[in-house]
Amino acid sequence: MIMILTAVTTKLVSVPFNTPIRVSTFVIAKRTAIIVEIETDEGITGMGYLPILGQGGETIRTCMDRDIADLLIGENPLYRKKYSRYGFRKLIDRKAGDIGMINLRAGGITESVRIANMASANRLPVTPHLAWELQIQIFAAIPNGVYIEYMNWYDDLFEDVPLIKDGLVNVWDRPGHGLKFRDEILKKYAVL
């Protein structure tokens, strides 16, 4: 028996910061999040969220409710076809967004490049989702990469990461992704 999704609901929440974040041209006074709840035919429920700093939460929630939720109903939540180019194709056909966000869970580097090329053929710009340090070579090699989603969550695990200066990423000429874990991290946090 295959489990399937039977319901996808969204809620929008907005929580003020204790101290607003001041950026050069504006202030972010609150954290907005879209909470997504799912239910399956086996009675299993799940919850996730999409954090949003700044504006646009209502628009994104509307897009999720209108264009994405019904793509998930009836699907097996454990099957990742939606991350692949086949699922991405549906989003392109529905014009569900102005910029496509590619996740390495789509099937790694090869599948990410296939998705980017398909999006390019449909005049859709793309950006990587998380793991910027693993994807900069991909985005340097495709014609429709528009920006890198920079999150420094893992930067301290590596000996060094690509240099970001004046809003541009210096792409390495090292083989593969070019990263090397710090030895002391591997020794200290090794799971045997």
Q: Domain with 14 in it: what CATH number? A: 3.30.390.10
Clarify whether residues 171 and 84 are in a common domain: yes
Clarify whether residues 61 and 108 are in a common domain: no
- How far is Cα 77 from Cα 83, in angstroms, rounded to an integer? 11
Q: Give the residue ranges of the chain where pLDDT is below 70.
A: 1, 53-54, 76-83, 105, 153, 189-192
Model-wide pTM > 0.75: no
pLDDT value of residue 144: 93
Clarify whether residues 85 and 53 are in a common domain: no
pLDDT value of residue 83: 64
Q: Domain ends where: 51, 78, 105? A: 78
Domain count for the chain: 2
pLDDT value of residue 81: 59
Long-range Cβ contact pairs of 99-103 (< 8 A, separation 24 or more): 99/124, 99/125, 99/126, 99/127, 99/146, 100/124, 100/125, 100/126, 100/127, 101/126, 101/127, 101/128, 101/129, 101/149, 102/126, 102/127, 102/128, 102/129, 102/135, 103/128, 103/129, 103/130
pLDDT value of residue 167: 84
Domain that holds residue 151: 79-192
pLDDT value of residue 191: 46
Contact 145, 127 (CB under 8 A): yes
